[in-house]
Amino acid sequence: MAGKDVHDDYPLKDYKYHCCSDLLEGKVAFVSGGGSGIGFRIAELLMRHGCNVAIGSRRIDKLEQSAKDLSKATGRQCLPVQIDVRKYDTVLKAMKQTLNAFGSIDILINSAAGNFLCPVSSMSSNAFKTVLEIDTMGTFNCCKAAFDTYMKDHGGCIINISATLYFKGDAYQAHAGSAKAAIDALTRHLAVEWGPLNIRINSVLPGPIEGTEGFRKLGGAVEGAEEFLESSIPLGRCGTRTEIAEACLFLASPLSSYVNGSLLVVDGGAWLTSGFANFSSKL
């Protein structure tokens, strides 16, 4: 099990290396949603293993602070870039900025997403569309821009952060579940189309991850949630951001050189037994 996690968007105080710290030496990564939460920790571990990283999202002040903290903790360069993943031109511009600064984009992590609990009976058409646009269109836009600007000629590695919500049809998550199902379909389609160009595409599907916005949005802070999760998740606890980042480290590295088109569930076995949003929807 990983060491103690840090819940705020601040680098770990100490990190026990499981892989050599030069595992990704000289590589460049682009992390959408890398200024906070799971994306922040993914950016940190990629940097700790040799990458320079661009982190992109809407809030530039938040990105600038995170980039400073990440560079200070890891000794690597971190470029904050303002993007709205729904708008292809902002993503394309940010990819070009990254190429100008670092010379390549070898790894793309799609972690940007939006979510809230909402029954379909009171969900507007625009609410459903908004989440589909951020999650699914956003993932497509980043994949396409990375492909057009760099990967089509040089190969690369793409990791889409998805979720297990649609496996069992979790309550109040029709928008996010549909969006993530489409992302996982995209993972498989791209793996087939782009595999011959030496681009590997995989999904990582986290379970409930403590101390994150996604966890809070699904009711993680409400009374009874912790006890429910401890008793229903086979490993008896929520996951940490570091555990998700380490799964991404594996998929971004030569350790997984023959893994393409896979959906890697990192949830302690949670989806087999719990359905956290089903619990939250009954509160």
Q: Which residues bind ligand NAP (CB under 6 A)?
A: 32-33, 35-39, 57-59, 62, 83-86, 111-114, 134, 138, 161, 163, 206, 208-209, 212-215
Nearer to ligand NAP, 74 or 280 (CB): 280
217 binds ligand COA (CB under 6 A): yes
Binding at 182: pick from ligand COA, ligand NAP, none (beta carbon under 5-8 Å per type): none
Please report, as residue ranges, which positions from 80 to 139 form the binding site for ligand COA (by CB under 6 A).
113-116, 118, 124, 126-127, 130-131
CA angle 71, 250, 143 (to 5 degrees): 75
| Minimum separation from the CB atom of position 53 to ligand COA (A) | 20
H-helix or E-strand spanning residue 92: helix 88-102
As a whole number of Å, the end-to-end CA separation of the chain is: 31
Question: Are 187 and 203 spatial neighbours (Cβ–Cβ below 8 Å)?
Answer: yes
Q: Cβ neighbours of residue 201 under 8 Å, at least 6 residues apart?
A: 143, 157, 158, 159, 160, 187, 190, 191, 194, 260, 261
Nearer to ligand NAP, 19 or 60 (CB): 60
For the chain, how long is the longest CA-to-CA vector? 52
| Minimum separation from the CB atom of position 264 to ligand NAP (A) | 12
Nearest CA-CA partner of 63 in 82, 88, 41: 82
Of 213, 261, 263, 269, the one binding ligand COA (CB under 6 A) is 213
Residue nearest to ligand NAP (CB): 37
For residues 177 and 278, give the distance between their C-alpha atoms in angstroms, rounded to a whole number. Answer: 13
Summarize as ranges the residues that interact with ligand COA (CB under 6 A).
Answer: 113-116, 118, 124, 126-127, 130-131, 213-214, 217
